[in-house]
Amino acid sequence: MLSVQQVGKSFGGLAALSDVSFGVSPGEIKAVIGPNGAGKTTLFHLISGLLRPSAGRIEIAGRAVTGLSAVQIARLGVARTFQQPQIFRTLTVLENVMLGGHRSGRSGLLACGLGLPAARAEEHRLADAAREQIDFTGLAGSAGRIASELPLGQQRYVEIARALATGATLLLLDEPAAGLDDTETGQLSELVRRIRARGVTVLLIEHHMDFVMGLADSVLVLNFGVRIAEGTPQSIRESQAVIDAYLGTTEDA
């Protein structure tokens, strides 16, 4: 599904990521963990095309996407959420999610401006499809609300619904559980499993260890821009390199 090969990114000589390689198989839930500044969000920016890698190669579904723009990569079926939820604040929840499905519509400038029946019918289809995603993510009561009025946790769900509405096959979630309490985290885990059950591959960044360990099929650990471990949650929990990265080595102490 996703293959990252020896990818590096430096900002003016400072390496944020170097020589990172890993793969995500179709239908997998993979987590990326690591201390702050490990390069996790940079990695997401590279995969989604917001930044271009300085080195290496990224393939999505067997297709090289290195150097493609964010728009082109999104059109290949990659959708993402952001660490700080990036919703369209003055639009309603429904409008936010309809934007996810925008590309399934065809009406052009004239059809829209003249309010042609075809454009109106398409608008209804878009709204119906968006409502499905809104129900799926459990936001049913909020469809008509202005998105910025929702609490932060629900704004994340708006982002997820919008991402799903694009019809993406690879979903990148950047710290979806940040700021959630235990009950909410549990609901989120359940949602991510349901997303996977729909055939969507999930790659997520998270600090919340219980969430990651209970949900992910495999875990990638980054530290200072370098891959230090990859494997099942169980093997990561027992890895000395990971424990050192998080707690510091005895020599440092």
Partner 1 sequence: MNVASALFTGTGQSWNSVRVLLLAAALLALPQVFGQGYYLNTLNFVAVLALPAIGLSLLSGMCGQLAISHGAFFAIGAYGSAILNVRLALDPLLATVLTQAIVAVVSAAIGWVVLRLRSHYLAIATLSFSIIVEVLIKEWPRLTGGQQGMTGIPPYQLGPLQLGSDAAVYYVYWPVTLLMFWFALNLAQSRIGRVLRAIREGEPVVDSLGISVARHKAMIYIVSSVFAGLGGSLYAHFVGFVTPATGSIMFAIDIIMVLALGGFDRLWGALVGIALITLLNEYALGFADYKRIILGAGLVSVMLVFPRGLLPGLFDLGRRHLRGTAK
Which residues of this chain interact with partner 1, rule CB under 8 A? 48, 50, 69-71, 74-75, 79-80, 82, 86, 88-91, 95, 98-100, 102-103, 105, 107, 109, 112-115, 119-120, 122-123, 126, 162, 166
Q: Torsion over CA of 38, 156, 58 and 66, rounded to 10 degrees?
A: -110
* Least distance in angstroms from the C-beta of 113 to partner 1: 4
Does residue 46 come out as left (phi exceeding 0), alpha (psi in the -120 to 50 range) or beta? alpha
Is residue 83 within 8 Å of residue 173, measured between CB atoms? no
d(CA 208, CA 16): 22
Q: Which CB, 95 or 184, lies closer to partner 1? A: 95
Residue written as token pair 């109106």: 120
Task: Compute the distance between CA of residue 162 and CA of residue 96 in angstroms, rounded to an integer.
Answer: 6
Nearer to partner 1, 30 or 80 (CB): 80
Residue nearer to partner 1 on the CB measure, 37 or 115: 115
- Smallest gap from residue 208 Cβ to partner 1 (A): 24
Residue 208 burial (10 A CB sphere; 0-12, 13-18, 19+)? buried
Q: Which is nearer to partner 1, 89 or 237 (CB)?
A: 89
**How many beta carbons lie within 10 A of that of residue 142, not counting itself?**
18
CB of 156 to partner 1, least distance (A): 14
CB of 47 to partner 1, least distance (A): 11
CA angle 43, 79, 96 (to 5 degrees): 130
- Cβ proximity to partner 1: between 95 and 217 the closer is 95
Chain centre to alpha carbon of residue 55: 22
Strand order in the sheet with 78-80: 78-80, 170-174, 201-205, 29-33, 218-223, 226-231
| Least distance to partner 1, CB of residue 89, Å | 6
Q: How far is the CB of 237 from partner 1 (least distance, A)?
A: 33
| Residue (88 or 224) nearer to partner 1, CB | 88
